[in-house]
Amino acid sequence: MIKSDRILGLVTILVALAYIASAFQIQASFLTDPVGSKTFPILIGAVAALCGLVIFARPDPDPDWPEMSGWLRLALATAVMVGYAYSLKPFGFVLTTAFAAAALSWMIQPRIGTAVVTGIGLSAGLYALFKFVLGLGLKPWPAAFTG
């Protein structure tokens, strides 16, 4: 089994090199100073690459990674969040929040009933809080509902 830190070190080195390469592409401007736009990013990239080398050479013991089911839940949670980010504007606050909150709640405590109640409760409660206490201009429903 490859140690996680070896992978971290390798990824760091690659990203740092790409970062340095990209820094060389920064266009010069007619406003110049002795340092310029490139030097500092290149410096950062170089230090990061060095850190990557050290991490690769001297890896720490592996952390406790979650099991397969844990990864699955984390991936699902990420998908829910990404979906929420995309749908918040077109579909309004109330429905999307109820769904997303219920899904996250279910992932922490897999009981459908509690999750549904949590989702609906959080959606309604937070909407009331944001709308009436904090006065945010949130759109509650999809545009199609209200015309």
Partner 1 sequence: MELLSNLAVGFSVALSPYTLMLAVIGCFAGTIVGALPGLGPSNGVAIMIPLAFTLGLDATASLVLLTSVYYGAMYGGRISSILLNIPGDEPALMTTLDGYPMAKQGRAGDALVISGVASFVGAFFATIGLMLLAPVLARVAYLFGPAEYFALYLLAFATLGGMASKNQAKAALASCLGLGIAMIGLDTTTGMPRFTFGNMHLMDGIDFLVAIVGLFAVAEVFFFIESHGKSSAIGVKLGKITIPLRDLKKSTVAMARSTVIGFVAGVLPGAGASLGSFLAYMSEKSMGRGGVPMGTGNPRGVAAPEAGNNAAAGGALVPMLTLGVPGSGTTAVLLALLMTLNITPGPTLFTDRPEVVWGLIASLLIANIVLLIMNVPLVKVFVKVLMVPPWVLLPGVMMVSFVGIYSLTGSYFDLLLMVGFGVLGYVLRKLDVPTVPVILGILLGNSMEEALRRAMVLSDGDWTYLFSSGIAIGLWTAAVAGFVAPIFLRKFLRKPVIAPADKIID
Applying the rule CB under 8 A, the residues between 116 and 145 that interact with partner 1 are: 118-119, 121-123, 126, 130, 134-138
- Is 27 one of the binding residues for partner 1 (CB under 8 A)? yes
Please say which residue, 66 or 145, places its beta carbon nearer to partner 1: 66
Give 36's DSSP letter: T
Cβ atoms of 42 and 23 within 8 Å: the answer is: yes
Nearest to 101 by CA among 82, 87, 80: 80
Q: How far is the CB of 146 from partner 1 (least distance, A)?
A: 20
The whole-angstrom separation of Cα 142 and Cα 13 is 46
Q: Give dist(CA 84, CA 136) in Å, integer.
A: 18
Please say which residue, 73 or 95, places its beta carbon nearer to partner 1: 73
Q: Residues 45 to 104: which contact partner 1 by CB under 8 A?
A: 45, 47-48, 51-52, 54-55, 58, 60, 63, 65-66, 70, 73-74, 77-78, 81-82, 84-86, 88-89, 93, 97, 100-102, 104
CA distance linking residue 138 with residue 101, whole number of Å: 17
- 17 in contact with partner 1 (CB under 8 A): no
Looking at 1, 29, 132, 146, which residue binds partner 1 (CB under 8 A)?
Answer: 29
Judged by CB under 8 A, does residue 108 bind partner 1?
A: yes
Dist CA 88 CA 141 (whole Å): 10
Angle between helix 39-57 and 4-24 (nearest 10): 160
**Structure tokens given for 115:** 């999750």
Check residue 12 for interaction with partner 1 (CB under 8 A).
Answer: yes
> Least distance (Å) from partner 1 to the CB of residue 144?
19
Between residues 23 and 95, which has the closer beta carbon with respect to partner 1? 23
